[in-house]
Amino acid sequence: MVATKRDPSTLSNYASWLTKHTTATFTIDFDKQSLKGRVDYDILSRSQGEREIVLDTSYLDIASISIGGSEAKWELKDRSEPLGSPLHISVPEGVAEGDVLKLSIELQTTKHCTALQWLTPAQTSNKKHPYMFSQCQAIHARSLFPCQDTPDVKSTYTFNITSPLTVIASGVLTTETLNKDDVTTTYIFEQKVPIPAYLFALASGDIATARIGSRSKVATGPEELHDAKWELERDIEKFIEIAEKLVFPYRWGEYNVLVLPPSFPYGGMENPVYTFATPTLISGDRQNVDVIAHELAHSWSGNLVTSCSWEHFWLNEGWTIYLERRIGAALHGEPERDFSAIIGWKALEDSINQYGADHEYTKLIPNLQDGVDPDDAFSTVPYEKGFHFLYYLEKLVGRDSFDKFIPHYFTKYAEKSLDSFEFKETFLSFFNGLGDEEIKKKVAGIDWEGRFYTPGLPPKPEFDTTYADQCYALAEKWKDPSFTPSPEDIASFSGNQKLVVLEAIQNFESPLSADRARLLGSTYDLVSSKNVDLKAAYYRVALAAKDTSSYQGVADLLGRVGRMKFVRPLSRALNKVDRELALATFERNKGFYHPICRAMVAKDLGVEL
């Protein structure tokens, strides 16, 4: 089969070449804040007569390139935003389709690298050692090493990493050898399941580990280990077992979690073998473990079965939200799943309102041609519109038959990448093949075109509103300025229920008065909460109420967490009520934020970096 290039976010000519195996040999240099070393590739020729290999790069310092041991001719072409500088490598004559070339590139990362954050000892919690971690999704792997930086290409990996501090990578650790210098250790990891470049991950620092399940460990700073273990050990193995029943056995060996320093810009990142997670999950109440169910679910949706480009990203995130909510339902019942779906629907409405209902990025399959930065198109749309599409399909065909489709689909595309049209074809042939006339009729009525390409909200489903109703009823009471609240109001609520109450109040047409907002915070004990989700939601109410006594608390929080989910909305909301403070707060904290977060907040506030 002749491959076609269906990912617009790569400059590589991957239709002609396929990376089969990648060996990354790097030394982590904390002083220079750089990775230095060599990457070796087994590259398969999939066409006849292509004379060049083109790889993605971004701000890399390349020293030399060889093919089959002989020096190769190469050229780094001009940079264009946001895709970077394509690296053109000349290939010797006589290479035929099916041949595998041994390509080798010596390089180091530069200070413009967008995939890495380096922390000085002073920026870490115990202030003893430096720390570094990577975040490659969506298109930052190219700033670590030249690669076919597209989810449409999957390679197996060997990581050969030397560091003076503990190293974690997205592979299984096989050996660990102290070097002759008595200072550095070389860690070797193998990733035998082929993965896209965006799942390449590294972290190194003062990291300790503890067991949290029969095939799981948690890794984090030594002082944080005890709390992190407590937060996760009750649920992790249960999550894995439920997911295995829904799909099929877990294929990656271990499932571990690395809890990062507070500047980690996401809630979680599904790096294989080691999910990377924000420390805000460790809230002391086990109320945020659904993020781990989500990242674990990516072990099937995303990591094993992968969307072939960022245009079809819903195949990763929509499916993952679907599986995450099925895990939640298996543990806490169906109403819990619908409650979560209602929260998701609300988030979808918010995103769509923010973009405008006919915006390209509100489509299930957005057009990302012509140099769109996938980070800019990122929103809850692929998550929730994707989830709601699957939820609709499940209701249409019935839970029992949908549950048979799940393993069929994940088996068919395991270790592959696909687009939405292949999903459609697989779905239709599965359900048409069941021999059930009624189901056949139902699936014939699916408006695929409309579901894929209509911007704005999809048709709204019916939800079980048991849990949500309790939240809306309480929020409603707050509309009356004479309502006397008590801690009892929320005593039986889950963390998510409290969040829904706060969001509903924040969305009142006329905001609470500053006094009432303060009363809300003190009665429900929100300001002192260790749960940052709750605290941030409360601050949104306080800012809408223009409660000036809360502004400093907001500014402080913005200096303690770098998770974009909190930093971006809080910075924007603070900017609305006190631009001067918002700008000063950003100025003070921008060195603490991850490069991706820093760039996003600068855009949000309309300031140059």
Mind telling me the catalytic residues? 295, 383
Using CB under 6 A as the binding rule, whether residue 149 contacts ligand BES is answered as: no
Given strand 34-45, what is the order of strands in its sheet? 70-71, 60-67, 100-109, 34-45, 17-29, 155-163, 185-195, 172-178
> Is 136 assigned to a binding site?
yes
Nearest partner of 197 among 294, 264, 271, 253, judged by Cα:
271
> Is 132 assigned to a binding site?
no
> Is 267 assigned to a binding site?
yes
The C-alpha atoms of residue 241 and residue 280 are separated, in whole angstroms, by: 25
- Which of 545/564 has CB closer to ligand BES? 564
3-state helix, strand and coil shares in percent for the chain, rounded to the nearest 5: 40, 20, 35
Q: How far is the CB of 58 from ligand BES (least distance, A)?
A: 16
> Is 106 assigned to a binding site?
no
Site for ligand BES (CB under 6 A): which residue of 37, 213, 268, 328? 268
In order of 156, 258, 313, 344, the CA distances from 19 in angstroms are 9, 28, 22, 37
Q: How far is the CB of 298 from Zn ion (least distance, A)?
A: 6
Q: How far is the CB of 512 from Zn ion (least distance, A)?
A: 33
> Is 308 assigned to a binding site?
no
**Could you tell me if 540 and 570 are in contact, meaning their C-beta atoms sit under 8 angstroms apart?**
yes
Site for ligand BES (CB under 6 A): which residue of 322, 378, 478, 592? 378
The C-alpha atoms of residue 138 and residue 151 are separated, in whole angstroms, by: 9
Would you say how long the chain is, in residues?
609
- Which of 251/442 has CB closer to ligand BES? 251
Using CB under 6 A as the binding rule, whether residue 108 contacts ligand BES is answered as: no
> Is 563 assigned to a binding site?
yes
Stretch of residues binding ligand BES (CB under 6 A), selected from 111-119, 123-131, 251-259, 264-272:
264-272
Using CB under 5 A as the binding rule, whether residue 420 contacts Zn ion is answered as: no
- Which of 319/402 has CB closer to Zn ion? 319
Site for ligand BES (CB under 6 A): which residue of 137, 156, 204, 420? 137
Nearest partner of 257 among 235, 241, 242, judged by Cα:
235
Secondary structure of residue 596 in the 3-state scheme: helix
- Which of 137/209 has CB closer to ligand BES? 137
The C-alpha atoms of residue 283 and residue 277 are separated, in whole angstroms, by: 13
Name residues whose C-beta falls within 8 Å of residue 120's C-beta, 6 or more positions apart in sequence: 130
The interface mask with ligand BES, positions 305-344, x = CB under 6 A, is: ------------x---------------------------
Question: Which element (helix H / strand E) includes 161?
Answer: strand 155-163
Secondary structure of residue 216 in the 3-state scheme: strand
Instruction: Extract the tokens encoding 103.
Output: 């390509």
# binding residues, ligand BES (CB under 6 A):
14
Instruction: Extract the tokens encoding 102.
Output: 């041994």
Nearest partner of 6 among 455, 363, 368, 425, judged by Cα:
368
Using CB under 5 A as the binding rule, whether residue 275 contacts Zn ion is answered as: no
- Strand 155-163, strand 185-195: pairing: antiparallel
Q: How far is the CB of 275 from ligand BES (least distance, A)?
A: 9
# binding residues, Zn ion (CB under 5 A):
2
Secondary structure of residue 417 in the 3-state scheme: strand
β-bridge partners, 104: 40, 66
Nearest partner of 152 among 18, 55, 326, judged by Cα:
18
Q: How far is the CB of 257 from Zn ion (least distance, A)?
A: 14
Stretch of residues binding Zn ion (CB under 5 A), selected from 277-285, 314-322, 412-420, 473-481:
314-322
Stretch of residues binding ligand BES (CB under 6 A), selected from 291-299, 415-423, 551-559, 577-585:
291-299
Task: Name which of ligand BES, Zn ion, none residue 266 binds, using a CB cut-off of 5 to 8 Å depending on partner kind.
Answer: ligand BES
Stretch of residues binding ligand BES (CB under 6 A), selected from 246-254, 265-273, 470-478, 480-488:
265-273
Using CB under 6 A as the binding rule, whether residue 266 contacts ligand BES is answered as: yes
The C-alpha atoms of residue 527 and residue 367 are separated, in whole angstroms, by: 42
Site for ligand BES (CB under 6 A): which residue of 154, 294, 326, 540? 294
**Could you tell me if 134 and 115 are in contact, meaning their C-beta atoms sit under 8 angstroms apart?**
yes
> Is 363 assigned to a binding site?
no
The C-alpha atoms of residue 126 and residue 222 are separated, in whole angstroms, by: 9
Binding-site residue set for Zn(2+): 294, 298, 317
**Under the rule (CB under 5 A), what is the footprint of Zn ion?**
317, 320
Binding-site residue set for a peptide: 135-137, 265-270, 563-565
Binding-site residue set: 135-137, 265-270, 294, 298, 317, 563-565
**Under the rule (CB under 6 A), what is the footprint of ligand BES?**
137-138, 266-270, 291, 294-295, 298, 317, 378, 565
